[in-house]
Amino acid sequence: MPQSISQWIAECHGNAKAKGFWDKERNVGEMLMLITSELGEAIEAHRHGQFGLEKKDTFEDELADTAIRLFDMCGGLGIDLEKQIEWKMSFNKTREKLHGKTY
């Protein structure tokens, strides 16, 4: 089973390709909205108290769908998300409390 973010990206993108999602060129806006729609499904599951690991249509399931779609997009676009996260975490350590905002 994959362990690193880069491995998850390769796994998710490979599965999406095998299922035909990359048989034609993908639209970045559409991919971003599909990621957003998974977050919308997550909030609805949360609102309805639908929780549980390894269960379909739960809060946790929708969060997993969000990550899978994000990782697939990164794989398809050649984005090294793991490297970018490492850089961003390092950068964020230099920022002031609440990043200078009130909330």
Averaged pLDDT, 11-36: 98
Q: Where are the domains of the chain?
A: 27-95
Question: What's the predicted TM-score (pTM) here?
Answer: 0.93
Averaged pLDDT, 61-85: 98
Superfamily of domain 27-95: MazG-like (1.10.287.1080)
* 56's tokens: 């379909």
Short-list 36, 24, 1, CA closest to 76:
24
pLDDT over 80 at 84, yes or no:
yes
Neighbours of 99 (CB within 10 A): 7
